[in-house]
Amino acid sequence: MISYIKGILGEVGEGFVVIEAGGLGYFLSTPASGDYKKLKPGDMATFYTSFCLGEKNVELSGFLSREERDLFVAVKSISSFGSKLSMTILSSLTVKEFADAIVNEDKKILRSIPGLGDKKADRLALELRKNRVILALASLSAEAEEDRHGSVIFDENAENAAAALESFGCSGAEARKAVEKALAEHGPLAFEELFSKALEAIK
1-24 core/surface letters (b: 16 or more CB in 10 A; e: else): eeeebebebeebeeeebbbebeee
* Gyration radius of the chain's alpha carbons: 17
Residue 115 has what pLDDT?
A: 85
CA-based nearest residue to 48, from 175, 188, 192, 201 = 175
Residue 161 has what pLDDT?
A: 87
Residue 55 has what pLDDT?
A: 59
Residue 47 has what pLDDT?
A: 95
In this prediction the pTM is 0.67
- Using the 8-state DSSP alphabet, how is residue 48 labeled? E
Residue 143 has what pLDDT?
A: 44
- Using the 8-state DSSP alphabet, how is residue 17 labeled? E
Task: Report the distance separating Cα 36 and Cα 12, nearest Å.
Answer: 9
> pLDDT tens digits, the chain, 203 residues: what are they?
688 999 999 999 999 999 999 999 999 999 998 889 999 999 999 999 999 876 567 889 999 998 999 999 999 988 888 888 999 999 999 998 899 899 888 888 998 999 888 888 889 989 998 888 888 887 764 444 444 444 455 677 888 888 888 888 887 778 888 888 888 888 778 888 998 999 888 87
